[in-house]
Amino acid sequence: MMKQAHVYYSGRVHGVGFRFTARNIAAELGVKGWVRNISGGRVEILAEAEERTLEEFLQRISREFSYYIQDSDIEWQPAGGNFKDFTVSF
């Protein structure tokens, strides 16, 4: 089933290639949505894919940045189907 994950990561996640790595992982897995830096040194991701694919996407991000991520907050929702690809927002 298609799902949407809205995720906030905090820690030392700015300036470590987080957004571009997330985009690359998303491209490999076929995840759609976006990633952006937000105030307070956090990163926000809105991603859509099959639930199993999203879980893999989030696990890979967590593994890749385990040293930098201090906390994450994930909200699961039904997919809206509004994305064509995965982009880095500025």
Q: Is 24 known to be catalytic?
A: no
37, 52, 60, 63: which is the annotated catalytic residue?
A: 37
Sheet containing 32-38: order of strands: 69-78, 2-11, 42-50, 32-38, 86-89
> How wide is the angle at C-alpha 27 spanned by C-alphas 22 and 32, nearest 5°?
85
Q: Is 52 known to be catalytic?
A: no
19, 23, 36, 63: which is the annotated catalytic residue?
A: 19
User: Per the structure block, which two tokens stand in for 45?
Assistant: 């991701």
Q: Active-site residue numbers?
A: 19, 37
